[in-house]
Amino acid sequence: MPSLPTFSYDHPDVDRLIRFALEEDLRTVGDLTCRALVPSTARLHATLTAKEAGVVCGLDLFRRVARVLGSNLAVSQELRDGERVTPGTVVWQGDGDATAILILERTSLNLVQRLSGTASKTRRFVDAVAGCRAAIYDTRKTTPGLRLLQKHAVVAGGGRNHRIGLYDQVLIKENHIALMPRGPHDSSPAEAVRRARECLGNDTIIEVEIESLTDLVPCLRASANIVLCDNMTPAQLREAVAIRDRTPEGRSCALEASGGITLSTVRAYADTGIERISVGALTHSAPCLDLSLRCTLA
């Protein structure tokens, strides 16, 4: 199957997000407090410390926010995305213009804490299924504007990306099937796969959601790349794996579980032999990692 694009902090979506976030803070006026109190020549040394255990992600955003402000930071320490930290770990240090650091502090922390929270939650899920075939995947349940960064955070935590958007992969759900024009064949999930393949060709990843195992073999024979078994029990998923494995057309098709899977239940799903477990909570419900930024005169 085609691979997803490689993430880069240089992506234009990242700069657009930073500019929007700074505009929320500054509008056309700027930082009134710094204007009134901070000398233009003042410089600060900033230290970012973890206050809880987790996985860090997004630290390069401090430098990139500064760049959008037209300033430069001299970074003296920066952990890599995906590194584990414990309380008291110094994860980032930098020096720069005092006004720029005071302006970028909140925007940078808002992003870094949220991304680190997603990476940390993902790592807990990944650790819970260690030794199994199943990988942990995210979903499109991301904060608007933050998708690329949040999906990068999932990878930093050891997870994998589902489709990035509506443009890079087909995911056929019940509403698509219900709205599909009637034709000479039935209006089943398998027929939806057949039509999508005919329209989009062999290079497009096609995933289809099923709610009954009776739809599995027809979807395999229709050349689905991934079959999403929605809200099925572990027992049903074991049966799905057995059906897929004895169906010649199914050997290249991955099975995915989704629907209410939690940290306490994910191992039971992974033990069924499926290849993919998608968890929306990685991005829509991850708490921010508690990080503290302290500044001293440079």
Which residue is catalytic, options 141, 197, 221, 267?
Answer: 141
Nearest one of 147, 53, 145, 62 to 101, comparing CA atoms: 62
Looking at domain 12-126+286-297, does it have CATH number 3.90.1170.20?
Answer: yes
Which residue is catalytic, options 81, 209, 256, 275?
Answer: 209
Looking at domain 131-284, does it have CATH number 3.50.50.60?
Answer: no
Determine the distance from the C-alpha atom of residue 213 to the mean position of all C-alpha atoms in its chain, rounded to a whole number.
Answer: 29
Which residue is catalytic, options 67, 124, 133, 173?
Answer: 173
Residue 5: per-residue pLDDT: 55
Q: Are 38 and 98 in contact (CB under 8 A)?
A: yes
Which residue is catalytic, options 15, 230, 239, 249?
Answer: 230
Q: Does 209 qualify as catalytic in the annotation?
A: yes
Nearest one of 78, 75, 63, 152 to 116, comparing CA atoms: 152
Residue 6: per-residue pLDDT: 74
Nearest one of 28, 34, 79 to 295, comparing CA atoms: 34
First to last CA, the chain: 51
**pTM across the whole model:** 0.95
Q: Does 230 qualify as catalytic in the annotation?
A: yes
- 217-276 pLDDT per residue, tens: 999 999 999 999 999 999 999 999 999 999 999 989 999 999 999 999 999 999 999 999
Q: Are 186 and 169 in contact (CB under 8 A)?
A: no
Nearest one of 153, 144, 162 to 286, comparing CA atoms: 153
Residues 6+ apart with CB under 8 A from 167: none
Which residue is catalytic, options 43, 67, 84, 106?
Answer: 106
Residue 2: per-residue pLDDT: 42
Q: Does 207 qualify as catalytic in the annotation?
A: no
* CATH 3.90.1170.20 intervals, the chain: 12-126+286-297
* CATH 3.20.20.70 intervals, the chain: 131-284
217-252 burial, b at 16+ Cβ within 10 Å, e below that, comes to bbbbbbbbbbbbbbebebeebebbbeebeeeeebee
Per-residue pLDDT of the chain (298 residues; tens, 9 = 90+): 444 557 899 999 999 999 999 999 999 999 999 999 999 999 999 999 999 999 999 999 999 999 999 999 999 999 999 999 999 999 999 999 999 999 999 999 999 999 999 999 999 999 999 999 999 999 999 999 999 999 999 999 999 999 999 999 999 999 999 999 887 767 899 999 999 999 999 999 999 999 999 999 999 999 999 999 999 999 999 999 999 999 999 989 999 999 999 999 999 999 999 999 999 999 999 999 999 999 999 9
